[in-house]
Protein backbone atom coordinates (compact mmCIF):
# COMPACT_ATOMS: atom_id res chain seq x y z
CA UNK A 1 0.00 0.00 0.00
CA UNK A 2 1.31 3.45 -0.91
CA UNK A 3 2.50 5.61 1.95
CA UNK A 4 0.32 8.40 0.57
CA UNK A 5 -2.68 6.33 -0.50
CA UNK A 6 -6.22 7.65 -0.23
CA UNK A 7 -6.86 5.49 2.84
CA UNK A 8 -3.73 6.75 4.59
CA UNK A 9 -4.51 10.35 3.72
CA UNK A 10 -8.01 9.94 5.13
CA UNK A 11 -6.63 8.31 8.29
CA UNK A 12 -4.32 11.28 8.87
CA UNK A 13 -6.43 14.22 7.69
CA UNK A 14 -9.99 13.04 8.41
CA UNK A 15 -9.79 13.55 12.21
CA UNK A 16 -8.56 17.11 11.72
CA UNK A 17 -11.92 18.13 10.27
CA UNK A 18 -14.85 15.97 9.19
CA UNK A 19 -14.14 13.14 11.63
CA UNK A 20 -12.75 15.16 14.53
CA UNK A 21 -12.90 13.09 17.74
CA UNK A 22 -14.28 15.97 19.83
CA UNK A 23 -16.26 18.10 17.37
CA UNK A 24 -17.89 15.17 15.52
CA UNK A 25 -17.60 12.06 17.69
CA UNK A 26 -17.92 14.03 20.97
CA UNK A 27 -15.18 12.00 22.66
CA UNK A 28 -12.55 13.16 25.15
CA UNK A 29 -14.73 15.97 26.48
CA UNK A 30 -13.75 15.48 30.13
CA UNK A 31 -10.04 16.21 29.64
CA UNK A 32 -10.92 19.03 27.22
CA UNK A 33 -12.74 20.72 30.10
CA UNK A 34 -10.16 19.95 32.76
CA UNK A 35 -6.82 21.02 31.24
CA UNK A 36 -7.70 24.04 29.11
CA UNK A 37 -7.76 26.88 31.64
CA UNK A 38 -4.35 27.83 30.20
CA UNK A 39 -2.85 27.31 26.77
CA UNK A 40 0.43 25.62 27.80
CA UNK A 41 -1.08 22.58 29.58
CA UNK A 42 -3.60 22.26 26.73
CA UNK A 43 -0.74 22.04 24.20
CA UNK A 44 1.22 19.57 26.33
CA UNK A 45 -1.85 17.39 26.91
CA UNK A 46 -2.68 17.41 23.19
CA UNK A 47 0.87 16.41 22.22
CA UNK A 48 0.96 13.72 24.91
CA UNK A 49 -2.26 12.14 23.65
CA UNK A 50 -1.00 12.36 20.06
CA UNK A 51 2.28 10.58 20.87
CA UNK A 52 0.62 7.90 22.98
CA UNK A 53 -2.18 7.27 20.46
CA UNK A 54 0.25 7.04 17.53
CA UNK A 55 2.70 4.63 19.14
CA UNK A 56 0.11 2.49 20.91
CA UNK A 57 -1.64 2.10 17.54
CA UNK A 58 1.64 0.96 15.98
CA UNK A 59 2.41 -1.55 18.74
CA UNK A 60 -1.08 -3.05 18.75
CA UNK A 61 -1.06 -3.23 14.95
CA UNK A 62 2.27 -5.08 14.97
CA UNK A 63 1.07 -7.72 17.45
CA UNK A 64 -2.62 -7.80 16.46
CA UNK A 65 -2.44 -11.29 14.93
CA UNK A 66 -0.94 -12.77 18.09
CA UNK A 67 -3.40 -11.25 20.60
CA UNK A 68 -6.10 -13.69 21.79
CA UNK A 69 -9.46 -12.04 21.27
CA UNK A 70 -10.62 -12.64 24.84
CA UNK A 71 -7.76 -10.61 26.37
CA UNK A 72 -7.29 -7.95 23.71
CA UNK A 73 -8.57 -5.12 25.95
CA UNK A 74 -6.13 -6.12 28.70
CA UNK A 75 -3.24 -6.14 26.22
CA UNK A 76 -4.27 -2.72 24.91
CA UNK A 77 -4.40 -1.31 28.44
CA UNK A 78 -0.94 -2.69 29.26
CA UNK A 79 0.57 -1.13 26.13
CA UNK A 80 -1.10 2.22 26.77
CA UNK A 81 -0.20 2.18 30.47
CA UNK A 82 3.48 1.62 29.63
CA UNK A 83 3.49 4.54 27.17
CA UNK A 84 1.61 6.80 29.59
CA UNK A 85 4.16 6.03 32.31
CA UNK A 86 7.02 6.95 29.96
CA UNK A 87 5.36 10.20 28.87
CA UNK A 88 4.44 11.10 32.46
CA UNK A 89 8.03 10.67 33.64
CA UNK A 90 9.34 12.74 30.71
CA UNK A 91 6.93 15.55 31.60
CA UNK A 92 8.02 15.44 35.24
CA UNK A 93 11.67 15.59 34.18
CA UNK A 94 11.43 18.44 31.66
CA UNK A 95 8.22 20.40 32.28
CA UNK A 96 7.47 19.70 35.92
CA UNK A 97 5.24 22.75 36.41
CA UNK A 98 3.00 21.63 33.56
CA UNK A 99 2.90 18.05 34.84
CA UNK A 100 1.66 19.41 38.18
CA UNK A 101 -1.05 21.41 36.37
CA UNK A 102 -2.13 18.34 34.41
CA UNK A 103 -2.22 16.40 37.68
CA UNK A 104 -4.00 13.04 37.33
CA UNK A 105 -5.21 13.72 33.80
CA UNK A 106 -2.03 12.37 32.21
CA UNK A 107 -2.60 9.08 33.99
CA UNK A 108 -6.21 9.07 32.84
CA UNK A 109 -5.03 8.97 29.23
CA UNK A 110 -4.95 5.21 29.86
CA UNK A 111 -8.74 5.16 29.71
CA UNK A 112 -9.15 7.95 27.14
CA UNK A 113 -12.06 6.89 24.94
CA UNK A 114 -10.44 8.35 21.82
CA UNK A 115 -7.30 6.27 22.31
CA UNK A 116 -9.07 3.04 23.21
CA UNK A 117 -11.52 3.54 20.37
CA UNK A 118 -8.74 3.85 17.77
CA UNK A 119 -7.00 0.74 19.07
CA UNK A 120 -10.21 -1.27 18.92
CA UNK A 121 -11.64 0.15 15.69
CA UNK A 122 -8.50 0.73 13.61
CA UNK A 123 -5.21 -0.70 14.89
CA UNK A 124 -6.58 -4.22 15.27
CA UNK A 125 -7.64 -4.25 11.60
CA UNK A 126 -4.88 -2.31 9.83
CA UNK A 127 -1.13 -2.26 9.28
CA UNK A 128 1.42 -0.31 11.35
CA UNK A 129 1.85 2.66 8.98
CA UNK A 130 -1.88 3.26 8.54
CA UNK A 131 -2.36 2.84 12.28
CA UNK A 132 0.42 5.34 13.01
CA UNK A 133 -1.18 7.92 10.73
CA UNK A 134 -4.59 7.27 12.28
CA UNK A 135 -3.13 7.80 15.75
CA UNK A 136 -1.38 11.02 14.75
CA UNK A 137 -4.50 12.34 13.00
CA UNK A 138 -6.83 11.63 15.91
CA UNK A 139 -4.33 12.95 18.44
CA UNK A 140 -3.86 16.18 16.51
CA UNK A 141 -7.61 16.51 15.96
CA UNK A 142 -8.05 16.28 19.73
CA UNK A 143 -5.15 18.68 20.32
CA UNK A 144 -6.53 21.33 17.95
CA UNK A 145 -9.75 21.62 19.99
CA UNK A 146 -7.80 21.79 23.26
CA UNK A 147 -5.59 24.56 21.88
CA UNK A 148 -8.59 26.58 20.69
CA UNK A 149 -10.33 26.28 24.05
CA UNK A 150 -7.12 26.98 26.01
CA UNK A 151 -6.39 30.01 23.82
CA UNK A 152 -9.80 31.58 24.43
CA UNK A 153 -9.91 30.80 28.15
CA UNK A 154 -6.43 32.09 28.98
CA UNK A 155 -6.70 35.22 26.82
CA UNK A 156 -10.14 36.28 28.06
CA UNK A 157 -9.63 34.98 31.59
CA UNK A 158 -6.29 36.62 32.39
CA UNK A 159 -5.22 38.62 29.35
CA UNK A 160 -2.23 36.31 28.86
CA UNK A 161 -1.07 33.60 26.48
CA UNK A 162 1.52 31.03 27.52
CA UNK A 163 2.00 33.11 30.66
CA UNK A 164 2.93 36.26 28.70
CA UNK A 165 0.73 39.29 29.36
CA UNK A 166 -0.77 40.52 26.09
CA UNK A 167 -3.29 43.00 27.45
CA UNK A 168 -1.56 45.89 29.30
CA UNK A 169 -2.84 47.17 32.63
CA UNK A 170 -3.76 50.48 30.97
CA UNK A 171 -6.52 48.63 29.07
CA UNK A 172 -8.15 47.38 32.27
CA UNK A 173 -11.49 48.80 33.30
CA UNK A 174 -10.21 49.92 36.70
CA UNK A 175 -7.54 51.98 34.95
CA UNK A 176 -9.92 53.71 32.60
CA UNK A 177 -9.79 51.13 29.83
CA UNK A 178 -12.44 48.85 28.37
CA UNK A 179 -11.08 45.39 29.25
CA UNK A 180 -12.15 43.36 32.27
CA UNK A 181 -10.65 39.99 33.17
CA UNK A 182 -13.37 37.35 33.01
CA UNK A 183 -12.77 35.06 35.96
CA UNK A 184 -15.55 32.76 34.76
CA UNK A 185 -13.26 31.66 31.93
CA UNK A 186 -11.20 29.69 34.45
CA UNK A 187 -14.23 27.61 35.43
CA UNK A 188 -14.94 24.23 33.78
CA UNK A 189 -18.46 25.39 32.88
CA UNK A 190 -17.02 27.99 30.49
CA UNK A 191 -14.85 25.32 28.87
CA UNK A 192 -18.01 23.34 28.17
CA UNK A 193 -19.66 26.40 26.61
CA UNK A 194 -16.60 27.09 24.43
CA UNK A 195 -16.44 23.46 23.29
CA UNK A 196 -20.14 23.65 22.45
CA UNK A 197 -19.51 26.81 20.41
CA UNK A 198 -16.61 25.11 18.58
CA UNK A 199 -18.85 22.13 17.77
CA UNK A 200 -21.61 24.48 16.56
CA UNK A 201 -19.22 26.39 14.28
CA UNK A 202 -17.72 23.14 13.00
CA UNK A 203 -21.12 21.64 12.20
CA UNK A 204 -22.20 24.90 10.53
CA UNK A 205 -19.14 24.77 8.25
CA UNK A 206 -19.61 21.06 7.53
CA UNK A 207 -23.33 20.63 6.95
CA UNK A 208 -22.80 17.26 5.29
CA UNK A 209 -21.77 15.70 8.60
CA UNK A 210 -24.58 13.61 10.06
| Three-state helix/strand/coil letters over 33-73 | HHCCCCHHHHHHHHHHHHHHHHHHHHHHHHHHHHCCHHHHH
Confidence of residue 209 (pLDDT cuts 50, 70, 90): low
Q: Are 44 and 198 in contact (CB under 8 A)?
A: no
Q: Is residue 210 part of a domain?
A: no
- Per-residue confidence (pLDDT) for residue 47, from 0 to 100: 92
Residue 11 lies in a domain: no
| 9 within domain boundaries | no
**Cα–Cα distance for residue pair 93/88, rounded to 1 Å:** 9
Over residues 166-183, the mean pLDDT reads 69
DSSP state of 160: E
Q: Give the chain's domain count.
A: 1
* Mean of pLDDT values over 88-100: 88
Q: Is residue 112 included in any domain, yes or no?
A: yes
For residue 76, tell me if it sits in a domain: yes
Residue 90 exposure: Cα atoms within 13 Å on the Cβ side? 13
6-15, 134-143, 163-172: least confidently modelled range: 163-172
Considering the domain boundaries, does residue 1 fall inside one? Answer: no
Q: Residue 111 pLDDT more than 90?
A: no
pLDDT of residue 26: 85
pLDDT of residue 98: 84
| pTM for this prediction | 0.87
Instruction: Give a yes or no: residue 2 inside a domain.
Output: no
Give the range with max mean pLDDT: 141-145, 183-187, 203-207.
141-145
Lowest mean pLDDT across 66-75, 80-89, 91-100: 91-100
The count of C-alpha atoms lying within 13 angstroms of the C-alpha of 63, restricted to the half-sphere facing its C-beta, is 15
Q: Would residue 145 count as lying in a domain?
A: yes
Q: Which domain holds residue 87?
A: 18-205
Distances (CA, A) of 82 to 45, 90, 144: 17, 13, 25
CA distance 87 to 102: 12
Residue 38, pLDDT above cutoff 70:
yes
Q: Are the CB atoms for 114 and 49 separated by under 8 Å? A: yes
CA torsion, points 150, 154, 206, 53, in degrees to nearest 10? -10
Amino acid sequence: MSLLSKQNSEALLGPLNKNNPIAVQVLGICSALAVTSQLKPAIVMGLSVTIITAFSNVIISLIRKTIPNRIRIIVQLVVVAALVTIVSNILKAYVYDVSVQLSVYVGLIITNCILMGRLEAFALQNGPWSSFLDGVGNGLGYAVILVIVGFVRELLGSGCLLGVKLIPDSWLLENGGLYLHNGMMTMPAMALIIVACVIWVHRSCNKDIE
